[in-house]
Structure 1
């Protein structure tokens, strides 16, 4: 069953200070009337219910020691947003394909998606998006001793991608004469390359960098190549939930203006 965790507003404040910083099966939503969110369409009054595909470090991961049971860049950013909206944050672990397709939102499982989700024209046809909150690149992870130095060396190789991701789209458009293997999650992709079942992983750069730096692997993997794709991550919503989208955009702008966004960003990503 999806893992569910609640983080209180006070806990979110403590988390951000330290850094600077299963659902309903219907499509019904309620209007927030309690701790916060007055006038917003929410699946549970007083809560900001967020779906995320976990693990996908450094953006989201499990953490039993954390108040929410989760950690990561997306979790910290959306904790700030929940605090600004005077809502408790509820995080649900969900399948990525259900998130990017809009199925989870339309089923009333959550108010929004926070899951390293790239804003694309195709996705905007079925989802509403916040302003972009992270610029990303695609990348190719290979075994350090593989001799593969880039996308041109993948002929007759097996390349792992995540189903429904922009990495899958990029691979299908740019990788020639290779066997592209789709997986439901990064965890399964990473297990496959460690087991020798695939020769490379094509996905978001920060995630592949995490695998490259995995201390348990002792440098067994390396990012062979990166690809500029002008991608931006955004938080996703039902297209009709315009009031919530506007409130989240305002909170993101406040986070940037206050300097808290940069503090959280610097704690997760190399800046030089």
Structure 2
């Protein structure tokens, strides 16, 4: 049975949409402990919505497992939190951090050599596999079963890379900007199957009984939070402490049940 939800609240959590081309006032600050923040007293988080159950909007607020873990880090320092919803490519390229749009990037983001070359990552906080989602009863058990079929993926994800490397040559791979569009393509029959992280797809299947996850693939994916390259080791330590805390375990159980985390 799940324990009570984390008593960390979201009253200070704001969703900020990036307005391209607008001048930005420099409100950056450095705390006494050496943490650099783009806005004093606030941990600003870049993500790309939605990606349930890691980050999504509910009741006008951004909630989810990633949000909870970063809220633990912010609370330990007495900071507020603010979420900025921007394009995934802007996040994984490191541009969002380099241009001061946020302090930390999140989004069930797999740690890869390519990403680690442009961002610094926290300790891993979640292990993932790639999963194959389909309409209930479709019966696909491997990517080979999808010869001549349409497979939905999400732009700039490790699932998209895995599918392109392993799908049959005659499979049609269709890429979508966000996970919700990818999932709906499978649900509505526009795609025969979809590939993405198992946490995401298993959660979607639990909420939509007309689809199911038929296979999971071991890929060694682990998630991390990222900060600007070579520029914020002090913030990484605070995030790592949150990942190692008992509050992390409570957050994990809230969103994923009793299965062992990370």
Q: TM-score, normalised by structure 1?
A: 0.82
Match 1:80 to one of 58, 68, 72:
72
Classify 1:229/1:170 alpha carbon distance in 2 versus 1 (closer, same or farther; 3 Å): same
The answer to whether 1:111 aligns with 2:109 is no
TM alignment of 1:166-185, pairs within 5 A: 166-177=158-169, 178-185=171-178
State the distance in 1 between where 2:201 and 2:229 align. 31
Establish whether residue 62 from structure 1 lines up as the match of residue 61 from structure 2.
Answer: no
Q: Contact between 2:8 and 2:72, CA under 8 Å: does it hold in 1?
A: no
Cα distance in 2 between the residues matched to 1:43 and 1:159: 40
Offset from partner CA, 1:26-79 (integer Å, 9 cap, x none): 79772235xxx65321111111100111111110110226xxx11111111111
RMSD between aligned residues: 2.2
Paired residues for 1:229-244 under 5 Å = 229-241=219-231, 242-244=233-235
Q: CA deviation at 1:250?
A: 2.9
Of the three residues 184, 192, 217, the one matched with 2:185 is 192
Greater shift after overlay, 37-46 or 24-33? 24-33
Partner in structure 1 of residue 13 of structure 2: none
Q: Which residue of 2 aligns with 1:250?
A: 241
Partner SS, residue 114 of structure 2: helix
Aligned equivalents of 2:24 and 2:99: distance in 1? 5
CA distance in 1, matches of 2:191, 2:23: 36
Q: What TM-score, normalized by structure 2, do the two folds share? A: 0.85
**1:156 and 1:99, CA in 2 relative to 1: closer, same or farther beyond 3 A?**
same
Where does structure 2 lack aligned partners over 5 or more consecutive residues? 1-5, 11-17
1:113: how far off?
Answer: 0.5
Report deviation, 1:137. 1.1
Task: Give the match for residue 138 of structure 1.
Answer: 130
